[in-house]
Amino acid sequence: MFNAIVFDWDGTLVSCEEKIDLAIAKLCSQFPKITKQYKALIAKKKPSPGWIRKGFIASLPEDYLSYHFGIVAGLLTKTEGLAIDSAWSAILSIFRESYLEARSKMLANLEKLYELSQCATLYVVSNSEVGNIKLESKALGIKRGSISFLGNAKKYDVAGLEPSILDIPANRPKYHEVLNRIKEKHESVIVVGDNFSLDLVVPIAMGISIAYVPNPLTPKFVVRYIRKNRITFGAINDILDILITKKGVIS
Protein backbone atom coordinates (compact mmCIF):
# COMPACT_ATOMS: atom_id res chain seq x y z
CA MET A 1 0.00 0.00 0.00
CA PHE A 2 1.20 3.52 -0.72
CA ASN A 3 1.92 5.82 2.22
CA ALA A 4 1.18 8.93 0.15
CA ILE A 5 -1.07 9.48 -2.85
CA VAL A 6 -0.63 12.63 -4.92
CA PHE A 7 -3.55 13.76 -7.07
CA ASP A 8 -3.80 16.39 -9.74
CA TRP A 9 -6.84 18.62 -9.23
CA ASP A 10 -8.39 19.89 -12.49
CA GLY A 11 -9.44 17.02 -14.71
CA THR A 12 -8.48 14.34 -12.17
CA LEU A 13 -10.49 14.86 -8.98
CA VAL A 14 -12.77 17.56 -10.41
CA SER A 15 -14.05 18.64 -13.82
CA CYS A 16 -12.75 21.94 -15.13
CA GLU A 17 -14.63 22.48 -18.41
CA GLU A 18 -16.84 25.25 -17.01
CA LYS A 19 -13.85 27.24 -15.78
CA ILE A 20 -12.05 26.79 -19.09
CA ASP A 21 -15.10 27.86 -21.11
CA LEU A 22 -15.55 30.91 -18.88
CA ALA A 23 -11.88 31.84 -19.27
CA ILE A 24 -12.10 31.51 -23.06
CA ALA A 25 -15.22 33.69 -23.13
CA LYS A 26 -13.31 36.37 -21.19
CA LEU A 27 -10.31 36.05 -23.50
CA CYS A 28 -12.54 36.46 -26.55
CA SER A 29 -14.05 39.55 -24.95
CA GLN A 30 -10.61 40.99 -24.20
CA PHE A 31 -9.20 39.99 -27.60
CA PRO A 32 -12.25 40.11 -29.92
CA LYS A 33 -10.18 39.40 -33.05
CA ILE A 34 -9.76 35.75 -32.02
CA THR A 35 -13.45 34.98 -31.41
CA LYS A 36 -14.59 33.94 -34.90
CA GLN A 37 -11.34 32.15 -35.67
CA TYR A 38 -11.45 30.22 -32.41
CA LYS A 39 -15.03 29.05 -32.99
CA ALA A 40 -14.23 28.07 -36.58
CA LEU A 41 -11.15 26.07 -35.58
CA ILE A 42 -13.01 24.22 -32.84
CA ALA A 43 -15.93 23.47 -35.16
CA LYS A 44 -13.51 21.98 -37.70
CA LYS A 45 -11.70 20.03 -34.92
CA LYS A 46 -8.41 21.51 -36.01
CA PRO A 47 -5.28 20.13 -34.30
CA SER A 48 -4.00 22.10 -31.34
CA PRO A 49 -0.31 22.79 -30.65
CA GLY A 50 -0.88 22.07 -26.97
CA TRP A 51 1.05 23.94 -24.32
CA ILE A 52 4.38 25.39 -25.48
CA ARG A 53 6.71 26.78 -22.82
CA LYS A 54 10.17 28.26 -23.42
CA GLY A 55 10.26 26.63 -26.83
CA PHE A 56 9.52 23.15 -25.46
CA ILE A 57 6.32 21.11 -25.24
CA ALA A 58 4.98 21.64 -21.74
CA SER A 59 1.88 19.59 -22.52
CA LEU A 60 0.53 17.69 -25.49
CA PRO A 61 -3.01 18.69 -26.58
CA GLU A 62 -4.19 15.70 -24.57
CA ASP A 63 -7.03 17.11 -22.49
CA TYR A 64 -9.71 19.81 -22.57
CA LEU A 65 -7.42 22.45 -21.08
CA SER A 66 -4.33 21.94 -23.22
CA TYR A 67 -6.37 21.42 -26.40
CA HIS A 68 -8.59 24.52 -26.15
CA PHE A 69 -6.06 26.84 -24.53
CA GLY A 70 -3.48 25.70 -27.10
CA ILE A 71 -5.80 26.90 -29.89
CA VAL A 72 -6.32 30.23 -28.11
CA ALA A 73 -2.59 30.71 -27.45
CA GLY A 74 -1.80 30.13 -31.12
CA LEU A 75 -4.40 32.71 -32.16
CA LEU A 76 -3.05 35.28 -29.69
CA THR A 77 0.42 34.98 -31.21
CA LYS A 78 -0.99 35.58 -34.69
CA THR A 79 -3.61 38.27 -34.08
CA GLU A 80 -2.06 40.15 -31.14
CA GLY A 81 1.62 39.59 -31.87
CA LEU A 82 2.24 38.07 -28.44
CA ALA A 83 5.14 35.73 -27.79
CA ILE A 84 3.88 32.23 -27.01
CA ASP A 85 4.90 32.44 -23.33
CA SER A 86 3.14 35.82 -23.02
CA ALA A 87 0.02 34.36 -24.61
CA TRP A 88 -0.04 31.53 -22.08
CA SER A 89 0.58 33.97 -19.22
CA ALA A 90 -2.49 35.95 -20.29
CA ILE A 91 -4.54 32.75 -20.52
CA LEU A 92 -3.47 31.48 -17.09
CA SER A 93 -4.13 34.84 -15.45
CA ILE A 94 -7.73 34.83 -16.64
CA PHE A 95 -8.10 31.11 -15.86
CA ARG A 96 -7.10 31.75 -12.22
CA GLU A 97 -9.79 34.43 -11.96
CA SER A 98 -12.36 31.94 -13.26
CA TYR A 99 -11.87 29.69 -10.23
CA LEU A 100 -14.01 31.97 -8.12
CA GLU A 101 -16.76 32.38 -10.71
CA ALA A 102 -17.41 28.86 -11.98
CA ARG A 103 -17.44 25.89 -9.62
CA SER A 104 -16.19 22.51 -10.69
CA LYS A 105 -18.01 19.22 -10.22
CA MET A 106 -16.52 16.30 -8.35
CA LEU A 107 -15.31 13.46 -10.55
CA ALA A 108 -13.93 11.45 -7.66
CA ASN A 109 -16.31 9.80 -5.20
CA LEU A 110 -15.93 11.61 -1.89
CA GLU A 111 -16.59 8.52 0.22
CA LYS A 112 -13.86 6.63 -1.60
CA LEU A 113 -11.46 9.52 -1.02
CA TYR A 114 -12.28 9.55 2.69
CA GLU A 115 -11.80 5.79 2.92
CA LEU A 116 -8.44 6.12 1.21
CA SER A 117 -7.40 8.95 3.55
CA GLN A 118 -7.67 6.54 6.50
CA CYS A 119 -4.75 4.47 5.23
CA ALA A 120 -2.63 6.97 3.28
CA THR A 121 -1.78 10.68 3.29
CA LEU A 122 -3.55 12.40 0.40
CA TYR A 123 -2.11 15.38 -1.43
CA VAL A 124 -3.31 17.60 -4.23
CA VAL A 125 -0.46 19.14 -6.21
CA SER A 126 -1.63 21.72 -8.70
CA ASN A 127 -0.43 24.56 -10.89
CA SER A 128 -3.14 26.72 -9.38
CA GLU A 129 -3.03 28.77 -6.21
CA VAL A 130 -3.75 26.94 -2.95
CA GLY A 131 -6.28 29.55 -1.79
CA ASN A 132 -8.47 29.13 -4.85
CA ILE A 133 -8.38 25.33 -4.67
CA LYS A 134 -9.22 25.34 -0.96
CA LEU A 135 -12.22 27.59 -1.59
CA GLU A 136 -13.36 25.31 -4.38
CA SER A 137 -12.86 22.15 -2.32
CA LYS A 138 -14.91 23.63 0.51
CA ALA A 139 -17.74 24.47 -1.90
CA LEU A 140 -17.60 20.90 -3.20
CA GLY A 141 -17.99 19.49 0.30
CA ILE A 142 -14.52 18.07 0.86
CA LYS A 143 -13.86 17.64 4.57
CA ARG A 144 -11.21 19.94 5.97
CA GLY A 145 -7.98 18.12 6.72
CA SER A 146 -8.72 15.06 4.61
CA ILE A 147 -6.40 16.29 1.84
CA SER A 148 -3.28 18.47 1.95
CA PHE A 149 -3.25 21.06 -0.84
CA LEU A 150 0.04 22.10 -2.44
CA GLY A 151 -0.28 24.74 -5.16
CA ASN A 152 1.88 26.71 -7.54
CA ALA A 153 3.76 23.59 -8.63
CA LYS A 154 4.29 25.16 -12.07
CA LYS A 155 4.26 21.81 -13.84
CA TYR A 156 4.40 23.71 -17.13
CA ASP A 157 7.74 25.39 -16.26
CA VAL A 158 10.07 23.45 -18.56
CA ALA A 159 13.80 24.00 -18.02
CA GLY A 160 15.08 21.83 -20.86
CA LEU A 161 14.54 18.71 -22.91
CA GLU A 162 16.71 16.29 -20.90
CA PRO A 163 15.65 14.10 -19.26
CA SER A 164 12.57 13.32 -21.30
CA ILE A 165 9.82 10.71 -21.53
CA LEU A 166 8.50 10.10 -25.07
CA ASP A 167 10.40 13.30 -26.00
CA ILE A 168 8.31 15.22 -23.47
CA PRO A 169 10.60 17.25 -21.15
CA ALA A 170 10.76 15.91 -17.60
CA ASN A 171 13.01 18.73 -16.37
CA ARG A 172 10.42 20.79 -14.47
CA PRO A 173 12.28 22.11 -11.40
CA LYS A 174 9.40 23.43 -9.28
CA TYR A 175 7.25 20.33 -9.72
CA HIS A 176 10.28 18.11 -9.04
CA GLU A 177 10.95 20.06 -5.85
CA VAL A 178 7.37 19.63 -4.62
CA LEU A 179 7.34 15.89 -5.32
CA ASN A 180 10.76 15.45 -3.75
CA ARG A 181 9.54 17.00 -0.49
CA ILE A 182 6.67 14.52 -0.43
CA LYS A 183 8.95 11.61 -1.31
CA GLU A 184 11.30 12.48 1.57
CA LYS A 185 8.41 12.19 4.05
CA HIS A 186 6.92 8.93 2.79
CA GLU A 187 8.29 5.49 2.08
CA SER A 188 6.02 4.82 -0.91
CA VAL A 189 4.37 7.43 -3.16
CA ILE A 190 2.09 7.29 -6.20
CA VAL A 191 0.99 10.20 -8.43
CA VAL A 192 -2.44 10.14 -10.11
CA GLY A 193 -3.13 12.53 -13.00
CA ASP A 194 -5.08 13.02 -16.21
CA ASN A 195 -2.39 14.88 -18.16
CA PHE A 196 0.58 12.68 -19.00
CA SER A 197 2.81 15.61 -19.95
CA LEU A 198 2.08 17.85 -16.97
CA ASP A 199 1.36 15.35 -14.22
CA LEU A 200 3.30 12.17 -14.89
CA VAL A 201 6.57 12.60 -16.82
CA VAL A 202 8.32 14.07 -13.77
CA PRO A 203 7.36 11.32 -11.30
CA ILE A 204 8.29 8.69 -13.92
CA ALA A 205 11.73 10.29 -14.25
CA MET A 206 12.02 10.34 -10.44
CA GLY A 207 11.12 6.67 -10.13
CA ILE A 208 7.76 7.39 -8.49
CA SER A 209 4.78 5.16 -9.27
CA ILE A 210 1.94 6.62 -11.34
CA ALA A 211 -1.66 5.97 -12.35
CA TYR A 212 -3.25 7.62 -15.37
CA VAL A 213 -6.77 8.94 -15.95
CA PRO A 214 -7.12 8.99 -19.77
CA ASN A 215 -9.65 10.92 -21.84
CA PRO A 216 -10.79 10.97 -25.50
CA LEU A 217 -7.91 13.30 -26.44
CA THR A 218 -5.18 11.03 -25.05
CA PRO A 219 -2.63 10.40 -27.85
CA LYS A 220 -2.33 6.79 -29.00
CA PHE A 221 1.43 6.69 -28.38
CA VAL A 222 0.80 7.66 -24.73
CA VAL A 223 -1.71 4.81 -24.41
CA ARG A 224 0.84 2.42 -25.93
CA TYR A 225 3.47 3.59 -23.43
CA ILE A 226 1.04 3.14 -20.51
CA ARG A 227 0.11 -0.38 -21.60
CA LYS A 228 3.66 -1.43 -22.45
CA ASN A 229 4.85 -0.39 -18.99
CA ARG A 230 1.84 -1.98 -17.25
CA ILE A 231 0.81 1.32 -15.68
CA THR A 232 -2.61 1.38 -14.08
CA PHE A 233 -5.09 3.53 -15.97
CA GLY A 234 -8.83 4.13 -15.99
CA ALA A 235 -11.54 6.38 -14.60
CA ILE A 236 -10.62 8.11 -11.36
CA ASN A 237 -13.08 6.09 -9.26
CA ASP A 238 -11.78 2.81 -10.69
CA ILE A 239 -8.26 3.86 -9.71
CA LEU A 240 -9.48 4.76 -6.22
CA ASP A 241 -11.02 1.28 -5.93
CA ILE A 242 -7.71 -0.31 -6.90
CA LEU A 243 -5.82 1.78 -4.36
CA ILE A 244 -8.34 0.96 -1.65
CA THR A 245 -8.49 -2.79 -2.28
CA LYS A 246 -4.82 -3.18 -3.31
CA LYS A 247 -5.93 -4.99 -6.45
CA GLY A 248 -4.35 -4.66 -9.89
CA VAL A 249 -0.80 -3.80 -10.90
CA ILE A 250 0.52 -0.34 -10.13
CA SER A 251 4.03 0.21 -11.39
User: pLDDT tens per residue, the chain (251 residues)?
Assistant: 799 999 999 999 999 999 999 999 999 999 999 999 999 999 999 999 999 999 999 999 999 999 999 999 999 999 999 999 999 999 999 998 888 888 889 999 999 999 999 999 999 999 888 988 998 999 999 998 999 999 889 999 999 989 999 999 999 999 999 999 999 999 999 999 999 999 999 999 999 999 999 999 999 999 999 999 999 999 999 999 999 986 444 44
For the chain, domains (ranges, CATH) are 4-15+106-245 (3.40.50.1000), 17-98 (no CATH)
pTM score, two decimals?
0.94
One-letter amino acid for residue 162 of the chain: E
Q: Could you tell me which residues are beta bridge partners of residue 111?
A: none
CA distance readout (Å), 220 to 61, 64, 74, 226 = 12, 16, 23, 10
> CA–CA separation, 85 vs 54, rounded Å?
7
Q: Tell me, what amino acid is at 211?
A: A
